[in-house]
Structure formats: structure tokens, C-alpha cells
Amino acid sequence: MSKSPSASPDFSVREFFQRFPDEDACLEHIMAVRFGGTRFDCPKCGTVESTFHKLQKRRTYVCASCGHHVNPTAGTILENTRTPLVSWFYAMYLFCTTRHGVSGKELQRQLGVTYKTAYRIGQQIRDLMSKAQGFDALLTGHIELDEAYVGGRRSGG
């Protein structure tokens, strides 16, 4: 029985790279999450349980019946990226396993990309996490605080 990343809180780096060793493994995972695998109803020809095959050197799957292309990363933060999916997945793994967050410089070191790329990846993951968890609605309306300490030392005494 294979372990899924969410099945164990101790999903190690070794297990991560066994599960997602290359671009194709990441793309297959996205297909499984978004479409339930490579066999689903074709949106163009309507073939029930049509088989979709991956095109070589592209992030696209093709319907075996009509040749309709399905891009699993379309409409996601991964849509137009040239950064390898393994790097994106590893960045997401770092965000999920690190207690105190991940800085752009840490992503730059871990992923081996430029700071600009690392910063962009981090910001997009943070934005996605905030939308998914509804952080924008945490402090709205009437809020009461007890024993709160706001500000620093008072000047002049």
C-alpha cells in the first residue's frame, strides 16, 4: 500500500521525492486531482470514459477519440510557468511542513532559482493559501480583545 502525502504527518523529504521524482509525476498528480485520472468524459466529443494520453515535451493530454487537448495546469498558478513543476511542488511542500513560514531567500536556496522567481512562487502560494482558507474574513465585524499588548515602550517614562 502506497502512502499519500496527506496520509502521514511525517511525510519526509525522501518520501516527497519518491512520490514526485519528475515533471511527469507532478503532472499525473494534477490530472488525478483535477479530472480523476486520465480516463474521463471528453468535454469536446462527449466520449464516456475516454482515455487521455500525454504529449511528449508538453504539459498537455490528448483525447484518444477526437484529439482534444486538455491542459491540467490551465486556470491554476502553474498555468504559464517555465519553472519545473517539481520545484513548485517542493515549494508547496516547504510551506506545508515549515512552522514559521518560508522566505523568498530560503526558496531561492532550496529550489536553485533566482530570487525574483522564488519571491514570485512564494507570493503566489501565499495568495492561494489565503484564498483557500478564507483569511480575508478572519477579522471582520465587531472584535473584542482581552489582555492585549499593542505597541512598544512608552517614551518619556
**Would residue 137 count as lying in a domain?**
no
The answer to the question of residue 140 being in a domain is no
Pair (100, 61) in one structural domain: no
Please tell me the total count of domains within the chain. Answer: 2
Same domain, 23 and 68: yes
User: Is this prediction's pTM over 0.85?
Assistant: no
Q: Report yes or no on 141 lying in a domain.
A: no
Tens-digit pLDDT profile for residues 29-46 = 999 998 888 888 888 888
Chain Cα centroid distance, residue 45: 30
Average pLDDT over residues 53-64: 90
Coil, helix or strand at residue 33: helix
Q: Is residue 126 part of a domain?
A: yes
* Co-location of 53 and 103 in the same domain: no
Residue 19 resides in a domain? yes
20 belongs to a structural domain: yes
Domain hosting 28: range is: 12-74
Per residue in 79-136, pLDDT tens? 999 999 999 999 999 998 988 889 999 999 999 999 999 999 999 999 888 887 666 5
DSSP three-state, residue 51? strand
Amino acid at 115: Y
> Which range, 7-11, 86-90, 150-154, is most confident?
86-90
Q: Is 150 within a domain?
A: no
